[in-house]
Structure 1
Amino acid sequence: MTASTPPPPPAGPSGTEVPFDSTAQIMTEITTQLGERLGRVRLHGLPRRGPAAPRPAPGAATARQAPPLVAVAHGSRDPRALRTVTALLDRVRALRPGLTVRLGHIELNAPLLPDTLARLNGPAVAVPLLLARGHHVGHDIPAALADAPHLTACLARPLGPHPLLAEALHARLEEAGARRPSAVVLAAAGSRAPESATDTARTARLLSDRLGGVPVLPAYASAPPEGGPPGTPLSVPAALRALAARGHHRPAVASCFTAPGRFAAQCAAAAPGPAAAPLGDHPALARLVLHRYDQALAARSAYDHDPTGAATVAV
């Protein structure tokens, strides 16, 4: 191993060499140059100093570049509904600081969705705070987005069905005292759209799985109390009678509603056993809102980079 040659003395203003006047000065110059060169070297396999920055979730944009999340709630005359949705969105903001989160209602409450969209510019992601597909997701929200040509907005999927939704439903049942129910009625708002029945039935299966196979019967608050034609979703009272015929006389009622309202109160009043509260600001629901937002961003990104335009945002 040979010794390194000391660096030449620094040049003076005229280009002539200025001799070092001491050994200490020579060592100082060597240390300075070595530090500068090492600063440009990246050692493979060694971690950088300082805490590692958390990696964003797949498809998640950083807060600085992320488009606003427009949460679309149904709206209700019940004054608790707006407070509940506001608390949910506060939890969403806490989970992703810096993300712009706005609220728009389909009806009954301010701000209405068109008013919220009018205050935005550029890209945005609309996330329905609805728990299944139906007319609002398939028609009303897309129509509002189409009427806002100043935005490049995409529409996320509704919150259900999803395992996070089943997690929140399960937690609300436990809070109501239904830790080991013999059977459950999953009470949802309902829709004439067949996709709504498909989604609600899937959520019922996910909840049944979380409960270890307990029977979970999906039902609609909006269905005729005596039930409709064969093959149509049951009403909540009809579902309760069907379970009673199987020997389940005190089934629990799971409230598949984002916030309090007429339907949620009506279903809870019909329950012969424990009745869960609406999902509200449950942490799993807040995570699900961000998950749908990230899914929509990822799908839009795939569409933007696919020259065939084959990728679309599923709604």
Structure 2
Amino acid sequence: MTRITVQLTDRLSTLGLRAARRDRPPTLVAVAHGSRDPAASRTVTALLERVRALRPDVPVRLGHIELNQPLLADTLAALRGEAVVVPLLLGRGYHVKQDIPAAVAAAPHLAARIAAPLGPHPLLAEALHARLAEAGWRDAVPPGAGVVLAAAGSRDPDAAVDTARTAALLSARLGGVPVLPGYASGLGPTVPEAVRALAALGRERTAVASCFAAPGRFAAECAGAAPGLAAAPLGAHPAMARLVVHRYEQALSSAPLSHPAATVGV
């Protein structure tokens, strides 16, 4: 009888552990680009701490596309069960369309899906607005004010579409102040070219909004090209944490977890 009781207890315990695993929310895998700037890693860590505070029930892991550890492939290899991969990227492009899906496809042991990138979205515009305000922007601006939305840039036309949509959202948030994209790479226009375009429209008081998730070379170069006020990267702003959680939850509500993964919520 004692042996039967022990076996039954062990069996019930095993079943309980399996049920607990089934009830646990899928792991949120945040994907950062990676940077040689040590401030980038600190910034992403701070952002994910805010994410954990918003959803303490959700396991949160980090993977990088390049330059920093852990790499996304290593993070996915160490996981089991279900995952939602959330790019900490601000629009579509090669990393979102190629690199991240390839890494997920190389982890067939996971039931995974890929969330949409963080932008465009009103929460992104909220964070951009807040960073401009921190840098000294006042909403009661003179008629000659304009903003350049500085972004990484890409040769993918969808990336330019997403940045233009973010620029429009920020313009609306600023009460109609013109906002033109300027890029650190890709097909342009560059930040200086966007500044000149605004000047041609009579907008001589130009600020630069930093559409970068974390500090790095591109963010520093774009800030250095600002003729005046330059906002800090978005970093761990509370709106960014809410946006990461939103993309995670949006992906979960879009379709059952399955493999091969697909990008959802775009």
- Runs of at least 4 residues off by over 4 Å: none
Gaps of 5+ in 2: 1-21
Q: Which residue of 2 aligns with 1:238?
A: 193
Give the residue type in structure 1 aligned to 2:149.
L
Amino acid at match of 1:165: L
Whole-Å separation in 1 of the counterparts to 2:265 and 2:237: 25
Q: CA RMSD of the aligned region, Å?
A: 1.7
Distance in 2 (CA, whole Å) between partners of 1:198 and 1:233 is 13
Match of 1:104 in 2: 63
* Alpha-carbon shift at residue 64 of structure 1 (Å): 5.0
Cα distance in 2 between the residues matched to 1:65 and 1:219: 42
SS at match of 2:30: strand
Total equivalences in the alignment: 238
Verify the 8 A CA contact 1:103 1:116 in the aligned structure 2.
Answer: yes
Structure 2 length normalisation: TM-score?
0.86
Once the two structures are superposed, the pairs formed by residues 168-207 of structure 1 within 5 Å of their partners are 168-180=127-139, 181=141, 182-207=145-170
| CA distance, structure 2, for counterparts of residue 169 and residue 234 of structure 1 | 20
> Which whole-Å CA distance do the structure 2 matches of 1:312 and 1:256 have between them?
22
Letter of the structure 1 residue corresponding to residue 72 of structure 2 = L
Pairing of 1:281-300 with structure 2 (within 5 A): 281-300=236-255
1:197/1:233 contact within 8 Å kept: no
More helix, by proportion: 2
TM-score normalised by L of structure 1: 0.73
Instruction: Tell me, yes or no, if the aligned pair for 2:61 and 2:75 is still in contact at 8 Å.
Output: yes
Partner residue, 2:110: 151
Percent identity between matched residues is 72
Change (3 A) 1:202 1:312: closer
Kept in 2, the 8 Å contact 1:167–1:284? The answer is yes
Residues 146 and 179 in structure 2, CA contact (< 8 A), matched pair in contact too? yes
Distance 1:84 1:270, change over 3 A: same
Aligned-partner Cα distance in 2 for 1:152–1:99: 16
Cα distance in 1 for residues equivalent to 2:67 and 2:132 = 28
Give CA-to-partner distance per residue, 1:155-207, whole Å, 9 cap, x none: 00000000000000000000000123511000000111110000000000000
**DSSP-derived class of the 2:101 partner:** helix
Aligned equivalents of 1:163, 1:283: Cα separation in 2 = 13
**More strand by percentage:** 2
Q: Which residue of 2 aligns with 1:28?
A: none
Residues 1:120 and 1:177: Cα distance change in structure 2 (over 3 Å): same
The alignment status of 1:313 with 2:264, answered yes or no, reads yes
Work out whether residues 103 and 111 of structure 1, in 8 Å CA contact, stay in contact via their aligned partners in 2: yes
How far did residue 219 of structure 1 move? 1.4
